[in-house]
Structure 1
Amino acid sequence: MKAGIIVLNFGEPEEPTAEHVVPFLERIFYTNASLEDQPTDEARRARSRQLAERRAPGLIAEYEEIGGSPLNQQAHAQAEALARELEARGHDVTVYSAFQYTEPLVAQVVAQAREDGIEHLIGLPCYPLCGFSTNVASLNDIQTAIDNLGWDGVKFEGITGWHRHPGYLELRADTLRRTIDEGGLDLTDGRTKLVFSAHGTPVKYLKEGSGYGSYVKEFCRELAALAGIDEYVIGYQNHANRGVEWTQPDVEAVIADIDADTVVVDPVSFMHEQSETLAE
């Protein structure tokens, strides 16, 4: 059975211009359109466009501040590294890279996999903490693309919920330990604090059954223990575009209130650098 893996990522615009940023944001807002009550699909798309145009100037400024997003390049490199590793282990697997909100879009890559004769398709979201608009939405995008193509013969499986995998935890703990050691820091001196910054999520998703809030707490607890750290604070990167309730506390409030001379911030929701890790 010919196998293929689609490595799924968020995607960010390659150029910080309205031409690229507005469609990117529009796709994100449309994916999360259920946060508001809109009577028709046309209304949901119009609202998504409105929100995208309103948010775009601020995001463009962030991209300019960080010199453009490195996410897509890093995501493609990750997929290429996975392909090399699987080949070295004797697996005959075709590895693809797809993005939810910029090209190559998931539907485009699924169509390519079908053309390539893939019989067993595996979706691998590169989000350690399973959330609605990331892991769930990206795997749903694959299934929707398969259905739209009428691709009846393919076996599809999704991999998610790997934030407690020992290998990943050790990787993150090692990075945290090295950051502290190289900075000559001491988290037990009373004046140096650790903040885990997690991407926020609308509370509505948690009430509807998403385990994201629990996953954040589990991951931070196990990461801190593995790194030998007793005290830390969790803050959330929230977006008030729709005026709905988000996870708390907000990371900006955490930083403003923290009693410390030095703060170590670890963004835990992503594997690659992007605006969420560099600008925020």
Structure 2
Amino acid sequence: MEYDAFLLVSFGGPEGPDDVMPFLENVTRGRGVPPERLTEVAEHYRHFGGVSPINAQNRELLAALAEELPRAGFNLPVYWGNRNWDPYLTKTVAQMRDDGIRRAIAFVTSGYGSYSACGQYLEDIARARAEVGEGAPVIDKLRHFHDHPGFVEPHADAVIAALGTLPDRDPARTRLVFTAHSIPNAMDASSGPSGARYSDQVRETAGLVAGVAAPGLPWDLVWQSRSGPPQVPWLEPDVNDHLEALAADGVRNVVVSPVGFVSDHLEVLWDLDNEAADTARRLGLNFARAATPGTDPRFVSMVGELIRERTDPATPRRALGRIPTHDVCPPGHCEPAARHRVAS
């Protein structure tokens, strides 16, 4: 398969205070999220001047990829389109058509499978192509990468660095806590008819990172950033509730690693660096938050490897885990359960 462009597809975020509420309304449209919840989340963004960190991080990643892809043998123009804010995906696809692009390979800033992390992005791409109409380029999405060394190793090194900042590293009183964005239980169940649920993939990633960073140290997988109607069951426990339980069990040192994320965007900076850190402080826990891959050279290089996998069938697939990943998701995989929607 030959491609003539590379497309970065991401969630998007506000670029200033006036963008915050329109952005949140885009994210939550049709989901029944109470207005008071939107107001609460809006304050999180305003804490950072109304600017989502994800935009600058995507620009940095795109710049790094523009340098890396030619080194990997892919002289492709690079484009960027978002689900929820400018540059909107439809606008980007229209620009690609006008530039004469016929077939592009897309990298989505989520390493996992589920409706919100994979299936909804496939819908976004299909909708953008339909809205652009005749001449819209064909766009193929790269596979999930939850167990690729270029994703696992930067997370592991970040955990090692975070452990090194703790004043007390007694293994008997130290715990690794891995987090990812919570999703509705029904969405998680619908993400894995082939045996690859979102929660299973995240758990596998956590185990791989822990095995490299701190063999033998106890670890847990918890969830963060839940949204949506309170009556809908979501993956639990929440990270803050879990910190309470750890403190009650005599744990005194905690490293939190956000393995569900590729960069330090708002849900990492607010939910962990503010809320979880405040909870730990109140409980008397020594707390350190591990970094995300961002533009780590191994993560950037991974994207080139994933393209090589797609374009050259002889290329070996680098995967540290056993849960299957797919170039093209099988029927029923990553489809919505009762059309649940969730920010990611």
Q: Identical aligned pairs, as a percentage?
A: 28
Q: 1:245 Cα shift?
A: 0.8
1 CA distance for matches of 2:228 and 2:47? 21
Q: Quickly say closer, same or farther: Cα 1:2–1:199, change in 2 above 3 A.
A: closer
SS of the equivalent of 2:77 reads strand
Q: 1:184 Cα shift?
A: 5.4
- Equivalent AA in structure 1 for residue 14 of structure 2: P
Q: Quickly say closer, same or farther: Cα 1:175–1:240, change in 2 above 3 A.
A: closer
Q: Which residue does the alignment assign to 1:62?
A: 44
Q: Which residue does the alignment assign to 1:23?
A: 22
1 CA distance for matches of 2:148 and 2:85? 29
Matching of residue 242 in structure 1 with residue 229 in structure 2: yes
Q: 1:158 Cα shift?
A: 0.6
- Equivalent AA in structure 1 for residue 198 of structure 2: Y
Q: Which residue does the alignment assign to 1:14?
A: 15
SS of the equivalent of 1:249 reads coil
Which piece of structure 1 moves more, 63-72 or 20-29?
63-72
2 CA distance for matches of 1:219 and 1:103? 31
Matching of residue 144 in structure 1 with residue 127 in structure 2: yes
2 CA distance for matches of 1:11 and 1:25? 11
Q: 1:117 Cα shift?
A: 0.8
1 CA distance for matches of 2:156 and 2:264? 17
- Equivalent AA in structure 2 for residue 164 of structure 1: D
Matching of residue 133 in structure 1 with residue 133 in structure 2: no
Matching of residue 194 in structure 1 with residue 138 in structure 2: no
Q: 1:214 Cα shift?
A: 0.9
2 CA distance for matches of 1:251 and 1:214? 18
Q: 1:205 Cα shift?
A: 0.8
Correspondent of 1:271 among 262, 266, 281? 262
- Give the unaligned 5+ runs of structure 1: 36-46
* TM-score normalized with structure 2 length: 0.70
Q: Which residue does the alignment assign to 1:207?
A: 189
Q: 1:278 Cα shift?
A: 0.7
Matching of residue 257 in structure 1 with residue 245 in structure 2: yes
Preserved CA contact (<8 Å) 1:27 1:101: yes
1 CA distance for matches of 2:52 and 2:110? 17
Correspondent of 2:151 among 160, 168, 171? 168
Preserved CA contact (<8 Å) 1:123 1:139: no
Q: Quickly say closer, same or farther: Cα 1:2–1:162, change in 2 above 3 A.
A: closer
Cα offsets for 1:5-30 (capped at 9, x unmatched): 11112122122x3x412222222223
Correspondent of 2:214 among 228, 232, 236? 228
Spell out structure 1 runs of 4+ moving beyond 6 A.
none
Q: 1:229 Cα shift?
A: 3.3
Preserved CA contact (<8 Å) 1:9 1:99: yes
2 CA distance for matches of 1:185 and 1:6? 45
Q: Which residue does the alignment assign to 1:87?
A: 70
- Equivalent AA in structure 1 for residue 83 of structure 2: Q
Preserved CA contact (<8 Å) 2:53 2:265: yes
2 CA distance for matches of 1:185 and 1:74? 32
Preserved CA contact (<8 Å) 1:4 1:122: yes
- Equivalent AA in structure 2 for residue 201 of structure 1: I
Preserved CA contact (<8 Å) 1:22 1:52: no
SS of the equivalent of 1:190 reads helix
Q: 1:135 Cα shift?
A: 2.5
- Equivalent AA in structure 2 for residue 109 of structure 1: T
The alignment yields a C-alpha RMSD, in angstroms, of 2.1
Alignment map for 1:31-50 (pairs within 5 Å):
33=30, 47=32
* TM-score normalized with structure 1 length: 0.85
Matching of residue 155 in structure 1 with residue 146 in structure 2: no
Q: 1:131 Cα shift?
A: 2.8
Cα offsets for 1:127-168 (capped at 9, x unmatched): 122331232212321122112322467332111311101222
Q: 1:274 Cα shift?
A: 1.7
SS of the equivalent of 2:172 reads coil
